[in-house]
Amino acid sequence: MQFKDIYGQEAVKERLLKSVREGRIPHAQLICGPQGTQKLALALAFAQYVNCKNRTETDSCGICPSCKKISALIHPDLHFAYPIVKKGDKDTTCSEYAAEWREMVTKHSPFTLSQWLDFIGAENKQAVIYANESEEINNTLSQKAYEGGYKTMVIWLPEKMHVVCANKLLKTIEEPLGKTLFLLVSNNAEEVLGTILSRTQRIPVAPLSEEDIRHFLQDRHPNLDQQAVSDAAHLGNGSLTDAEGSLTGSSDNREYLELFKKVMRASYARNAKQMKEWTEEISGIGRKRHISFLEYAQRMIRESFISNLKNPALNYMTKEESEFVSKFGPFVNERNIAGLTRELQLAQRDIEQNTQAKLVFFDLALKMTMLIKQ
């Protein structure tokens, strides 16, 4: 991965390059920002740059042995940790998913956590960087670099680290041996353990511009209609993964829209029978998709509230979503938006903590009845 392969993010690229030029590379960096903004690509491009034998002022050469190995994710001094699910009842480490990870990063980037879990067949299991991963990381980084450059540990989604794992890494992150580089790539820095945060230098990554997203989509889908590409770039709202999902017509989002319509209509009508039927329907789609639905519902609440400003440029919706929101939007206002969002967030938290889905969703529907007419 080279910096030239990354769309936009010029300020972040320059910050990373400047740290090398000045010889002031922080040993632990937290590259953080919204999903779909190429944070993992930036981390890999930086790892390739610092280990490149023939780097220029602006990029790695891309052709030296080190660059080729890092690009293929087979460099002996490049290591990864990422959320996984256990295989059976035994302790599982990221090394057992190394082949899948290599394929996902090299062939399917950018990708979301949900896409990664689908790729490894995680079904409805919760992905974690398990406690025993800390032993693997500490042992790996205690050894000398094979090729004399930086030993680089990329931790994708450190907010998914088990607290025991995070605590066991504190000393290694604070006082690494030799030329060791930690690159933590986070979608939500506020969920990272505070003691980890305090030991890293934060590098914020902003949402992408519509122009950068459009260029990305045009390169990935050269045969698609340009108007569709432009619409998807807008709907992406700064995220490559969201834009591509919109472009390819995510069937999940269409299903989530129908579920969102049903619960809001049933709650507005205070129809207990319909709320119960909705609860039975949504309970059967699986825990991982429950979380995705609740995230989608939070977005739709936001879009509904924004639609009241009568400025279409501020909304990021499909045609079907816009048609529903044109009627539903007025019911989301200053009096209830905070409450609606809070209840959806609480429901998401409960689902993530494995609370029984039927209880969570029926309770959510009941609470919507009290909020939707405020």
Strand stretches in 172-296, DSSP E: 180-186, 201-204
**Rounded-to-integer distance, Cα 196 and Cα 160, Å:** 12
Confidence at residue 47, expressed as pLDDT on a 0 to 100 scale:
96
Instruction: List, for residues 207-239, the tens digit of each pLDDT value.
Output: 999 999 999 999 988 888 788 888 888 888 899
Residue 39's pLDDT is 96
pLDDT digits (tens, 9 = 90+) for 63-110: 999 999 999 999 999 999 999 998 876 778 999 999 999 999 999 999
Closest CA to 129 of 87, 163, 170: 163
Digitized pLDDT (tens) for each residue of the chain, 374 residues in all: 999 999 999 999 999 999 999 999 999 999 999 999 999 999 999 999 999 999 999 999 999 999 999 999 999 999 999 999 988 767 789 999 999 999 999 999 999 998 899 899 886 678 899 999 999 999 999 888 888 789 999 999 999 999 999 999 999 999 888 889 999 999 999 999 999 999 999 999 999 999 999 999 999 888 887 888 888 888 888 999 988 887 765 567 788 999 999 999 999 999 999 999 999 999 998 888 898 899 899 999 999 999 988 888 777 787 888 889 999 999 999 999 999 999 999 999 999 888 999 999 999 999 999 998 76
> Cα separation of 49 and 221, whole Å?
29
Q: The whole model's pTM is what?
A: 0.78
pLDDT value of position 56: 94
- Buried b / exposed e along 11-42 (16+ C-beta atoms within 10 A): ebbeebbebeeeeeeebbbbbbbbbbbbbbbb
Question: Token digits for 52?
Answer: 């490149």
pLDDT at 249: 58
CA 365: distance to chain centroid?
A: 28
Q: By C-alpha distance, which of 1, 4, 86 is closest to 45?
A: 1
